[in-house]
Amino acid sequence: MEESDFLVRLINKLETAKIPYMVTGSMASGLWGVPRTTNDFDIVIQPTQDQFELFLNSFSEDYYISSDAARDAYRKHTMFNIIDHKTGWKADLIVLKNLPFQKEAFQRRRAGLIFGVKVRVTSPEDAILSKLVWAKSSDSERQIRDASGVIEVQRENLDLDYLRKWAHELGVEEMLEKIIDEADKLKP
């Protein structure tokens, strides 16, 4: 499976450089909820500068990575891309922002399996919240469906107090309550 090969190589490079990370985005919401087709991985990273340089220097010509864009993303706590020429898969690496929700979500990451690969992944609650924040800023129905899928599958296991607290802080409270209500209506 090409995507798992790329994911294994990417995670090995992060772990070799000792960079804390978590898989997020559609891969995480698909793990906890309803999977959907995507062609990229979203990975939040928290490297030191030395770790970051070690990681950057580990890539060969088999990958597209702009070192300048990556270093700029490191300085500004934004995103850069890595593309695997062999598989065509892309990874968006997001340098962890120094914001309360992002820091807490990163602390709450847990072990998971994506394409049979052991990874650190965002929690179901944080996957929901991230999708709702993204939906709010982009008016994306797909993000709402991803969040709804996690709620439908994980409903009995979710920390609703945590979800509601952060939904209020992030300004997505109404969206959250709507999809919780919809999930409750689907229960047998």
User: 26 with 115, same domain?
Assistant: yes
The predicted pLDDT at position 4 comes to: 79
Answer yes or no: do 30 and 63 share one domain. Answer: yes
Taking the CB of residue 45, how many other CB atoms lie within 10 A of it? Answer: 21
Question: What pTM does this model have?
Answer: 0.91
Q: Which two tokens stand for residue 73?
A: 């993303």
Q: 73 and 13: one domain?
A: yes
pLDDT score at 130: 95
Q: Are residues 24 and 96 in the same domain?
A: yes
Domain extent, residue 147, equals 123-188
Specify whether 100 is located in the same domain as 16: yes
Q: Which residue stretches of the chain have pLDDT < 70?
A: 1-3, 188
Q: What is the pLDDT of residue 3?
A: 66
Of the residues 67, 94, 122, which one is the last residue of a structural domain?
122
User: What does the pLDDT read at residue 2?
Assistant: 66
What pLDDT is attached to residue 188?
64
Q: Are residues 39 and 69 in the same domain?
A: yes
Q: How far apart are CA 73 and CA 140, in angstroms?
A: 25
How high is the pLDDT of residue 58? 95
pLDDT of residue 137: 86
